[in-house]
Structure 1
Amino acid sequence: MLFTLKKVIGGLMLPLPLLLMFIGFGLLLIVFSRFQKTGKSFIAVGWLALLLLSLQPVADGLLKPIEDKYPTWRGSERVQYVVVLGGGYTWNPAWAPSSNLINNSLPRLTEGIRLWQANPGAKLIFTGAAAQTNPVSTGEAGARVAESLGVPRSEIIVLDQPKDTEEEAAAVKATVGSAPFLLVTSASHLPRAMIFFQHAGLNPLPAPANQLAITSPLNPWERAIPSPVWLMHSDRVGYETLGRVWQWLKGVSGEPGEE
């Protein structure tokens, strides 16, 4: 119940639903009250914020400092485990396997396979519980896609009980103990994940995937025209900011290893 409540409240506090509620409140004031100027102000501020967060320079300017915490893993240290954290997914057997990994999940998986190939003999671990109405777990979906891309099932471990990052850390600790491992997740999620995993007494090596904040060349109109793509990048900033607030409320905050 607490997990569902956390997801619902957190979801409503992300940029798009929050700004839509902000604009909607302004409309209510205009239609049903005498506070016309206040209502118009709410609408104007909400519209302007939505516009700015949908522009590439603003969205990626906010996201880049979070993603830059850890560089792409190019180290030579050999590991026994590559851990890929779960993300968005569904499971429709009629689809191409990789189509079932939504948004952040497929880039995590492909980076995980790259690192697994660079570490012969390592086990590839996928984490994540099943969504409430799905008989297939996030971890199992990742494993099936990895199999379809040539990873033997014997080289895969599925941890399909954890519902969030903190629980993933506990499940991984029970599986790998104190052995160093590569921790693969979205670049924006990795700083928060590292805090949970190191506070659990683990030795993760940060391996970011799914970098989104673009600094390489784009067409000029792509930077100037509002797009849901850039709004999604702003959404990641909001999601990770809320996640860090939640860590602080739980007493797990600051840099890894600090209380």
Structure 2
Amino acid sequence: MFFVLSKTLGIMALPLNFLIALGVLGSLLLMTRFLRLGRTLLVLAALLLAVCGFAPVGNLLLYPLESRFPAWSPSQAAPDGIIVLGASIDVDLSAAHSTPVVTAASDRIIVTAALARKYPNARVVYTGGNANLISGEAKEADFAAGLFESLGIDKSRLMLENRARNTYENALFTKALVDPKPGERWLLVTSAFHMPRSIGLFRKVGFAVEPCPVDWRVGTGRDVLSFTDVAQDGLSRTNIAVREWLGLIAYRATGRIDQLLPGPPG
């Protein structure tokens, strides 16, 4: 129930979807006696689309998420295992073409493969099922094996978790699969903006992992106030940021994380 509700509300609350719906409502009202309200909604939708597309709204919302954890330092001791969260593989397109089709979050797989080659004794876990609200039988992890093998990672090192539909299930099912032992060091690879929520969920299920953020969408603090000349890019960052903040709020409200914005220990 939580999965269906979160997916439905999450789709509706995305800024782009919401503003398009607002514009459609305004257009419909133009044909009624609420003409003035319709015009107001149309103008408001257009202005907010422009602001979200060109102004640094997405940057301002993403930067606190992406800067929460520093990049992982290779100077540390070799890890026992590397966990990469799903969302790097488009399940439907992969199933349609019978080959892995990666998404904009492909950095997760690329960095994990590089780490796996650097640390040949580390186990590699890919956790990802089918996160679509209406899903078929295809699972992300089922396509991940061939993708990692093509990047030079032997299949014998891979552990595939293909049931998880969201980040909470990533943490829960991965812990059950890995059964981490005291003293083991596990890296968690996911997008930088997604790391606070992921760390909070792994902590909640009792699996201590070390953050290895990748796939940044904003540069340094100096870039936060930068405007963009491509509205699609600004809208994409705004959508990602709003979805992530809504996820943090929902998980905090339901007690699945202990802080609204989990950060480094201490």
TM-score, normalisation: structure 2: 0.85
Counterpart in the other structure of 1:235: 239
Deviates more, 1:151-160 or 1:41-50: 41-50
The aligned runs of 1:1-259 (5 Å cut-off) are: 2-34=2-34, 36-55=35-54, 57-75=56-74, 76-87=76-87, 88-90=89-91, 91-92=94-95, 94=97, 97=100, 100-104=101-105, 106-130=106-130, 133-174=135-176, 175-178=178-181, 179-215=184-220, 223-251=227-255, 252-254=257-259, 255=262
Instruction: Using the aligned pairs only, state the percent identity.
Output: 25
Relative distance call for 1:60 and 1:93 in structure 2 (3 A) is same
- String of CA shifts for 1:90-128, please: whole Å, max 9, x gaps: 21475764xx12222x11111111222232200110001
Q: What SS does the aligned partner of 2:247 have?
A: helix
C-alpha contact (below 8 Å) 2:99/2:143 kept by paired residues = no
Deviates more, 1:133-142 or 1:143-152: 133-142
Q: Tell me the distance in 2 between the aligned counterparts of 1:229 and 1:51.
A: 12
**How far off is 1:203 after superposition?**
1.0
**How far off is 1:77 after superposition?**
2.5
**How far off is 1:56 after superposition?**
6.0
Greater relative contact order structure (CA < 8 Å, 6+ sep): 2
C-alpha contact (below 8 Å) 1:198/1:256 kept by paired residues = no
- String of CA shifts for 1:27-86, please: whole Å, max 9, x gaps: 22222233x333222222221111111126332232122111112212413211100001
Q: Which runs of 5+ in 1 are unaligned?
A: none
Which amino acid letter does the alignment assign opposite residue 78 of structure 1? A
Relative distance call for 1:62 and 1:5 in structure 2 (3 A) is closer
Q: What SS does the aligned partner of 2:90 have?
A: coil
**How far off is 1:138 after superposition?**
1.1
Q: Tell me the distance in 2 between the aligned counterparts of 1:229 and 1:94.
A: 27
**How far off is 1:169 after superposition?**
0.8
C-alpha contact (below 8 Å) 1:56/1:224 kept by paired residues = yes
**How far off is 1:133 after superposition?**
4.5
Relative distance call for 1:194 and 1:128 in structure 2 (3 A) is same
TM-score, normalisation: structure 1: 0.87
Q: Tell me the distance in 2 between the aligned counterparts of 1:116 and 1:192.
A: 24
C-alpha contact (below 8 Å) 2:61/2:242 kept by paired residues = no
- String of CA shifts for 1:124-146, please: whole Å, max 9, x gaps: 10001135554431122222211
